[in-house]
Structure formats: C-alpha cells, structure tokens
Amino acid sequence: MNIGLSEHFTYKKLIKFTIPTIIMMIFTSIYGVVDGIFVSNCVGADAFAAVNLIMPAIMILGTLGFMIGTGGSALVSKTIGEGEKEKANRYFSMLIYLLVIIGLVLTINGVLLIEKMAKLLGADEAMLQDCIVYGRTLLIFLVPFCLQNAFQSFLIVAEKPTFGLIISIISGVSNMILDFLLIYVFKMGVLGAALATGISQVFGVIIPIIYFGLKKNHILQFTKTKFELKPILQACSNGSSEMLTNLSMSLVNMLFNFQLMKYAGSDGVVAFGIIMYVSFIFSGTYLGYSIGTSPIIGYHYGAGNKDELKSLLKKSFKLILITSIVMTGLAELLSKLLASIFVSYDEGLLEMTTNAIRLFSLSYIISGFNIFSSSFFTALNNGFVSAAISFLRTLVFQVVMIFLLPAIWGINGIWLAVFFAEILSLAVSLGFLVKNSKKYGYV
C-alpha cells in the first residue's frame, strides 16, 4: 500500500517511504563503482586515472538535472499541497521540456570543447586520448543523464519511490552487464565503459517517460503547458543548492587532483578516484534519505502543517545520527577491503588508498546532517539558505582546507580536508536552522 505525502509520518512510515530512494542511491553508486573496477582491472591505472580526471567536467554539465529535479520537485510538491494539482502538472511538464532543450545545447558545446577541457584539467599524453573518448561519449548521453536524475525526484512526488527504485535497478543491472560485455569481452576500453553508462541511462529514462505519458489518474503526468518564467526561476532557485553542490564537488575534485599530482603523482589521483567511488556509496544513504523526505516536507509546508514539519525534522536528525555512527564505523573497518577491490595488484598504492579511506571516512560522522539541512531548506522553497549551506560546505570550506592542511600534514592533510570542512559546515547548518525556526515553525 502506498504512503501518501499528506499522512502523518511515524518513524516506521518515514523509513518505509524513504528506503526505496536510499537503496536506489546506493545501488546507483554501486554500479558506478563497477565501472571503476572494470576500468582499473581490465584497462589499467592510466585509463582509470583518465576517467577520474575528466569526470568532474562531465558532472559540471550534468548538474542541470539535479537542479531541475530537486528544485522542481519541491515546487511541484508544494503546489500539490496547496491543492492545485493541474498547475503542478503544468509546472512538471514545463520543467522536463526545458531540461531537454538546455541539455541538448550543453551536449553540443561539450562535445566540441572536450579536448580543451581535458588539457585544462592537466591530462598528459598518456591520459589525453582516453579522457577525450570517455568524455565525448558520455556527453552524447547528457540529456538522458539529466532526465534520469530529474525523474527520480519527480517519482517521489508522484508517491512512487519503489517504482523509482525498480527503474534504477533495471538501469544499474544493464550497466553492469554492458560493462562486462563491452570492457571485458569485447575489449573496448574506456569507450565501452562510457557506452555502458550512457545506454543504461537511456533505459532509466524511457520507463518514466512512458509512465508519466499515460493518461491515467496519476498524481503527476505530462500535460499541455507553456514556458512561464516565474516558476522556472523559482524551481532553479530551489534547486540551486543541489546544483551548487554538484558543481562545487566537481570543481573541488579538480583541485584535489591538482594537489595530489603535486604531492603523490598519478597514484594520488587513482587513490582519490577510489575514495570518490566509496564515498558515493556511503553518502548515497544521506542523499537518498534527503531526496526521499524533500517532497514530504514540501507538501506539509504548502499545506501549513507546522506540527508535521517539527516532527519530520526531529525524527530525521535522530535517524541520521544513528546512521552516521554505523556508516563511519563500517568505512573504517572495511577500508582495506574496499581499496583492494580496485588496486590489489599494487601493494604501495593499496597501502596509500587504505590510509586515505580511513582518514576521509571521518567526514561521514557529520556530512549527513549537512546534506539533510540543505535539502530541508530546498523543500521549504528557501533556495538562498539551501544554496548558502551547500556553497560554503562543498566549495569554500573545502578549497581552504585543500590548500591549508597539506602545508601542515602533507598528503594526510588532503585526505582530512573534507572532514574539517564538514565541521565548519555543521556550525553554519545549525545556525541557519536556529535562525529560521520561528519563520517556518519547525521547533
């Protein structure tokens, strides 16, 4: 039985409603990890380094899907909470059409500029061709990538998080199968890895398009619409924090790679790439919960249910506290095992990566609170506060730490940069929550 957005959420209902999205995010991260495992073990360390060097540039262009998906779903769920379902469907349709148009423009420009991007990021002769092939191929699938991210958020608004999970599983399994066939069997290298990812994203888009296109009594469905500037700006404002998060992460990853090339060479880039794959899995739990609760918060904000907002915030912080303790402990205990999946063939690189995972994983004890706090304000349609938390957390504080801490602790300072950035971000998050408590009535 489906749980409606309008219901009172006990711990049991909250977990039941969000668990499909959490599993979806973790599963999506796992099949991304599979890409890395195949490239690292079947193609080589140079190819793996090339993939991780160019990936931030691709993610910068793909941030549009995160912005429209999270910001648009907050706007649409709030509109449904206000009792205006027809308007909500118009907004939903308009935002998807807008996403397709902008995605096509970014694809064309990205394909033309990918070689310059790779050189700007510092790709040497050994990496350059792999960077171009991998990046250009993924860019051809940029529209499906953006749509897939957006549809996952809108499926939660449609009260179909489990359906979103099923779609993610279909997409993920197809990616893994294609990785095996294209990389291991047909020896297509990084081209095979990119094709596997892109084709799987197409599968993840076709199913939602069919679902939302059916003229049934869905909460959300495609309808006739027109472009309206005000809701577009509002959706972009709401989702600006998610866009800034992904944009900042991509930029910061470039700086990490720059510093690591200085302190540890290409081995450092490989170790950081592994950390990112591992981080996607652990952070996926926090992201999945935040994405899953956002439409609930948006609905009750639109409906004026302040008691429910108060309950959701309190329960969420308790759940995140328990989860963060468990997740950090697991990351510390499994650090060597996780590193060995990628680089068991090189003892020195294995030792460096294991130490890096152990130090970096300290950030998981805090990051969940910051991720949820930013998402909470997105759901309240307060894009400014949400963006401020994300901007400081994922860009300003991390950039400072990336350059400050290595001067004190060398390469270990690089691995600890995110942990200290999260501490500073937590102070900012709590400050905004306290400052806005009376405005929204969640305390």
Residue 357 has pLDDT above 80, yes or no: yes
Distance from C-alpha of 146 to C-alpha of 65, rounded to nearest angstrom: 4
Is residue 2, in this structure, part of any structural domain at all?
A: no
pLDDT confidence of residue 120: 84
pLDDT tens digits along 77-123: 999 999 999 999 999 999 999 999 999 999 999 999 999 988 887 78
pLDDT confidence of residue 55: 84
**Domain of residue 116, residue span:** 11-440
Other CB atoms within 10 A of residue 263 CB: 14
Percent of the chain with pLDDT over 70: 99
Is residue 343, in this structure, part of any structural domain at all?
A: yes
Is residue 4, in this structure, part of any structural domain at all?
A: no
| Structural contact between residues 364 and 418, judged by C-beta atoms closer than 8 angstroms | no
| Structural contact between residues 183 and 34, judged by C-beta atoms closer than 8 angstroms | no
Quote the pTM value. 0.78
43: amino acid identity, one letter:
V
169: amino acid identity, one letter:
I
Is residue 220, in this structure, part of any structural domain at all?
A: yes
pLDDT tens digits along 172-220: 899 999 999 999 999 999 999 999 999 999 999 999 999 999 867 678 9
Is residue 287, in this structure, part of any structural domain at all?
A: yes
Is residue 283, in this structure, part of any structural domain at all?
A: yes
Distance from C-alpha of 395 to C-alpha of 380, rounded to nearest angstrom: 23
Is residue 6, in this structure, part of any structural domain at all?
A: no
| Structural contact between residues 194 and 111, judged by C-beta atoms closer than 8 angstroms | no
| Structural contact between residues 271 and 415, judged by C-beta atoms closer than 8 angstroms | no
Is residue 5, in this structure, part of any structural domain at all?
A: no
Average pLDDT estimate for 145-154: 90
Angle in degrees, CA 340, 341, 347, rounded to 5: 30
Q: Give the pLDDT band of residue 1 (cuts 50, 70, 90).
A: low
Count of structural domains, the chain: 1
Distance from C-alpha of 292 to C-alpha of 20, rounded to nearest angstrom: 8
Residue 387 has pLDDT above 90, yes or no: no
pLDDT confidence of residue 217: 65
